[in-house]
Structure 1
Amino acid sequence: MAGAGRVDRGRRRHTVAYDRAGNGEDPHHRPCPGSSPGGTRTRPLAVLTDAQAVPGGGPSAISAGAGPTLAVLPDGAVAVSSEPGSTHLLSPDLDEVLASWPMPWGWDAREGPGVDPFAASIAVTPAGRLLCMTSEYGLSNWAGDHPNIVALSEPGAALGQGRKPVLRAIATLDARTDHQSDADAYPHVRYGAAPVGRGNRPSPSLTEALSELTGTSGSVYGYLDSKMTRPAALGDDLFVVPVFGKIYRSSNRGQQFSFALVDDQGVLRGRLGGLHLRDDSPFTGFDFTVVADPLRARAFHLNRYGLYAWSADGVLRARMSTAEKPFKPLVHFTLLECTPSGELLLAHRKQHLLLRVPVPQDLDGLAAGVEAALKGYGRGRTALKKQYAPVNWLWPDSAATVNPL
C-alpha cells in the first residue's frame, strides 16, 4: 500500500524504483510498490528528480516534456519518455543516464540544437517488442509535433547508446498531412520501405475507422481533431489505443471517446465495450489512461466515475462505480500501471502514497479485492503518518537515494 511515494510532487517530477523490504529478489524483476491489505511494506530503492536544475545550477540531463511515462526494458534499464518525443534511458538503479534522444516541448522545438526524438511513450510486450507512440509535424493546421503514430519494434530490438531501433508504423491517428514535407519524416519510424510521411502511412486512420465504427462521420462531436494517449499491450499482437475527441472549453462530458483494440497489423478489431459516453466519461478529470496485463490478457481503466476491467475480447467484466459507498475513495486515485504479478498500482493525488490492489484470476471477484484494499489504505496511511510525520503530505525518507539527473 502506501509507503512508496514519499517524495515532493510539487513542480518537480520524480522517478522511483521500489522493492519489498528485505525480500532479496532480483531488482530488475522486483514487484511494484504498495502493500496488500495484509500490510506488506515497501521501501524505495532509488529516487531521482528530473527536469530541473541540478546542484550548481547546471541543466537537467532529462529534458522537460508532457505526460512522462516509464517502461522497464527487458535488460532492466528504465526508459523515460514524454511528449512530443523525448526518450531517456536510465540505469536500473536510476543513477546514470545511459542514452538520450531529446525533443523538448514547444512548437519550435525541432528548430533547436540536438533534437533527436525517439518516442512519446513506450510499452513493452511479453516478447520484448517496443510498443511506441510517436509524434509527427505538420498535421492539419496545428503547430508543432503531436502524437500521431502507433509503432512496433521487432522482438528483442535493442535501445541504447548509438542504437535506435527501427519502428514499424501500424496505425495513424490523423491522416491530414497536406502541410508535411520530406524534412518532417523521422528515419526510425517507417511504413514499408520508407519513413512515415505524407501519404506513406497506415490507412485508414484511427479517426476514420472509429468514425465509421461509431457512426459519427461528419459530426462536430465525433473524432475530428481527436487525440490519443499511451497505447497499452494486451499481448504481442493486440493493443489498446485510447482515442478521445476534441476538447472544448465548455464541458466535454458526453464527448466521443474509444479505447480502440488494434492488432499488430493495424487492423481495428473493435473497442473495450460497456462504457456510456456520459456516465463513464473520462473527460471529467481527463483520465484517459488504460493499463493492460498482457500475461493474463485483460485491461483496466480508472476515472472519476469508476474502475473498469475487461477481458482481451473487449467484454466489460467488472465495473466499480464511485457512486457506491465502498468505492467512493477511488475518485482520489490515479491508475498508474498493472504490475507483472497482476496487481493494479494506484497513486493518491494529494497524499502522495501508492496503493497496490491484488487482482484475482476471476475478474468477477475484483470488486471485493478493491474494497478490501481501500479499507487497508486508511490503516496503512495512519501508520505511516506516525512513522514519518509528513508535512502537508510530503514524505521525507532518509533511506532513499536522490539522484538529481
Structure 2
Amino acid sequence: MVQTLPLSLPAALVDTHAIDLTGTYATGWWMAADDVVTAPSGDTYALYGAYRHTYGVEDDEPDPARQNFSYRILTRFAPDGTPLATALFRRPESGGSPSALANGGEFALCPLPDGTLAVSAKPDRTHLIAPDLSAVLGHYTGRGREAFVEPVPGDPFATSMSLTPAGRAVCVTTEYGVHRYGNSIPNIVSLADTLPTPRAKPALRAIASLDPKPAHQTEVDLSPYVAFRGEPVGLDNRPSPSLTEILSEGAGSAYAYDGSRLGRPAVLGEDRFVVPVFARTYRGGSRGQPFSFAVLNDQGEVTGSLGGMHPWRDSPFTGFCWRVVADPRRGRAFHLNRYGLYAWGSEGQLRAKLSTETKAFRALTRFTLMEASPAGELVLVHDKQHLVLRVPVPDDLGDLGTAVEEALGAYGKQRTALKKRWSPVNWHWADDGNAPVHHL
C-alpha cells in the first residue's frame, strides 16, 4: 500500500524557538533527513535534523527565540502512519543541557529484533533507544581522533549497522589517517555474529578495508573492538588486498580509486553484501568518476558487482546519491540517483532502470532512497517537502515502472490530504502535540 508520512516538528519546539516556518536555507533555517527504517513490528522510525544559524547571534544567547540551535528529531509511526512518539536530541554546543545522543555525522538507524532501535554515527558511536523512544538504554561512544587532538577515551562500536536475515550485523567502523586525512573516516567492513545490548557489545570481525595503509597511526589508533586475524585492527593489520586496490586493478589504473569513500553496505543475502565505493570527489564536478557497487561474501571476497550502470550517464556523483539498499528476503538491490531508479536481482544483474528523463519518473529526482523495507517496499524521502513515501515493489521487477508511476500519483493525492489536515508552512509540518515528546 502506498503511504505518505510527514517529517514533523513538535509544536512546542516551534513555539519555544519562535521558528519562522517560512524561512529557507538562505535565511539560516533548514531541515534534512538522515535515515528512515521499518522495524519488524511494522513501525517506522525517521531520524532528521532541524537547524538554525543566524550570523551575529552569540553561542550564549539566552533568548530561545533568537538562539542558534541544532536538533536531531526521531519520530516513530504506527503501521497505519499515526505518529506515536518523538524524541528530541539537542546538540549541547547549541545551548541547553547535554544530549543523550553523541554528536556525530552520517547517522544510520537499525531496528533490532527485540524492538530496540540502534542509532549509529561516525565515528563508531552507537546508541540503543527504547522502542517507544522514552529512553536511551545504552550507548557505545567515545572514539575518534583528529590531528593534534588527543583521542577521546570511551567504548565505541560502529558507524553503521545492518542486519542479515539470521541476525548477524554487517558494520562499518572508522580508522584514523585514511587517505592521509587527519581524522577518523569509515574504512573497515566487519561482521558480528550477535547484536549489541545495553550491557554488552559483540566482537567485530573485519572482512574488508578501503584504504590498505592509513597514515600516521600509532598504538593509540588500534581498534580493540574490531579484530583481524585475532588482533586489533590498526597499524599494519587489516584485510588485504583492500577494496581500493581490487577496484583500481579492475578499472585499469592504480589511481582510479585513490581518495575514495566507503558507502554503507546493503545486505543482499545472508552471506552477500553490496559495498558501495566511490572515487574521489572534486569541487569542480565529479560526474564520470569511477564507482562500484561491489558484492562481497562473508569472508570479504569480492564475488561480483551490481552491473549495468554507465560512469557518466548513470553517475551517482550528481547530487551525491551514495545510498544502495537491498531486500535480502527477496534477493534484490536498488539505487536511486538523479538519472534513474535501478533494480538488480540476487546475482547483480540489472533488472530495471526507470530513467528520470521520462516524464513519468522525473519527480524521482526530488527524492532520496532510504531503505527497502521488510515488507518489500521502497522508502523514499522528498528532499524539499519533508515527506516519506512508501512504494510497494511488485514480484516481477519488470512491473516496477508501473508500480512507481502509480505510487507517485498516489503521493500527490495523499500529500493534498495531509496539507488539509496539517496546514504546513513552506512544507514544514508542525504536529498537533497529541503524541508524547521525549527530551533525551
What is the TM-score with the length of structure 1 in the denominator?
A: 0.89
Match of 2:369 in 1: 335
Match of 2:257 in 1: 223
**Rounded Cα–Cα distance in structure 1 between residues aligned with 2:429 and 2:9:** 5
**Rounded Cα–Cα distance in structure 2 between residues aligned with 1:140 and 1:56:** 35
- Counterpart pick for 2:436 among 385, 398, 401: 401
Amino acid across the alignment from 2:280: K
Note if contact 2:143-2:153 (Cα within 8 Å) is conserved in structure 1. Answer: no
Match of 2:189 in 1: 150
Cα gap change, 1:166 to 1:104, in 2 (>3 Å): closer
Moved over 6 A (4+): 12-18
**Rounded Cα–Cα distance in structure 2 between residues aligned with 1:341 and 1:370:** 16
**Rounded Cα–Cα distance in structure 1 between residues aligned with 2:380 and 2:184:** 30
Match of 1:167 in 2: 204
**Is 1:97 matched with 2:99?**
no
Note if contact 1:103-1:110 (Cα within 8 Å) is conserved in structure 2. Answer: no
**Rounded Cα–Cα distance in structure 2 between residues aligned with 1:226 and 1:56:** 36
Cα gap change, 1:55 to 1:172, in 2 (>3 Å): closer
**Rounded Cα–Cα distance in structure 1 between residues aligned with 2:252 and 2:312:** 17
Match of 1:303 in 2: 337
Match of 2:150 in 1: 111
Cα gap change, 1:334 to 1:14, in 2 (>3 Å): closer
- Counterpart pick for 1:62 among 66, 77, 101: 101
Match of 1:260 in 2: 294
Aligned-partner SS, 1:29: coil
Note if contact 1:243-1:258 (Cα within 8 Å) is conserved in structure 2. Answer: yes
- Counterpart pick for 2:381 among 320, 344, 347: 347
Which range is displaced more, 172-181 or 109-118?
A: 109-118
Match of 1:2 in 2: 4
**Rounded Cα–Cα distance in structure 1 between residues aligned with 2:343 and 2:409:** 20
Match of 1:190 in 2: 227
**Rounded Cα–Cα distance in structure 2 between residues aligned with 1:53 and 1:391:** 28
Shift of 1:208: 0.5
Note if contact 2:32-2:383 (Cα within 8 Å) is conserved in structure 1. Answer: no
Shift of 1:15: 7.9
Cα gap change, 1:88 to 1:12, in 2 (>3 Å): farther
Cα gap change, 1:130 to 1:146, in 2 (>3 Å): same
**Rounded Cα–Cα distance in structure 1 between residues aligned with 2:426 and 2:155:** 39
Shift of 1:105: 7.0
Note if contact 1:130-1:152 (Cα within 8 Å) is conserved in structure 2. Answer: yes
**Is 1:76 matched with 2:115?**
yes
Match of 2:74 in 1: none
Shift of 1:378: 0.6
Cα gap change, 1:136 to 1:237, in 2 (>3 Å): same
What is the TM-score with the length of structure 2 in the denominator?
A: 0.83
Which of the two has greater strand per residue?
2
**Rounded Cα–Cα distance in structure 1 between residues aligned with 2:45 and 2:111:** 14
**Is 1:87 matched with 2:165?**
no
Note if contact 2:34-2:108 (Cα within 8 Å) is conserved in structure 1. Answer: no
Which range is displaced more, 269-278 or 110-119?
A: 110-119
Deviations 1:66-123 (CA, angstroms, capped at 9, x unpaired): 1101000121111111112111110111111011122477726973544332111010
CA RMSD of aligned residues (A): 2.4
**Rounded Cα–Cα distance in structure 2 between residues aligned with 1:49 and 1:104:** 23
**Rounded Cα–Cα distance in structure 2 between residues aligned with 1:109 and 1:234:** 40
Shift of 1:32: 3.9
Which range is displaced more, 131-140 or 201-210?
A: 131-140
Deviations 1:332-381 (CA, angstroms, capped at 9, x unpaired): 10101111001000001111111110001111111100000001111110
| Unmatched runs of 5 consecutive residues or more in structure 1 | 19-26, 35-39
Deviations 1:272-297 (CA, angstroms, capped at 9, x unpaired): 10001011111011011001100001
Shift of 1:396: 1.9
Cα gap change, 1:229 to 1:103, in 2 (>3 Å): farther
Shift of 1:330: 0.3
Note if contact 1:158-1:164 (Cα within 8 Å) is conserved in structure 2. Answer: yes
**Is 1:30 matched with 2:18?**
no
* Count of residues in correspondence between the two structures: 387
Match of 1:214 in 2: 251
Amino acid across the alignment from 1:134: T
Amino acid across the alignment from 2:435: A
Deviations 1:165-184 (CA, angstroms, capped at 9, x unpaired): 10000000111235222221
Aligned-partner SS, 1:148: strand
- Counterpart pick for 1:373 among 399, 402, 407: 407
**Rounded Cα–Cα distance in structure 1 between residues aligned with 2:347 and 2:276:** 16
Match of 1:52 in 2: 91
Match of 1:289 in 2: 323
**Rounded Cα–Cα distance in structure 2 between residues aligned with 1:365 and 1:318:** 9
Match of 1:132 in 2: 171
Shift of 1:393: 1.1
- Counterpart pick for 1:386 among 408, 412, 420: 420
Cα gap change, 1:61 to 1:225, in 2 (>3 Å): same
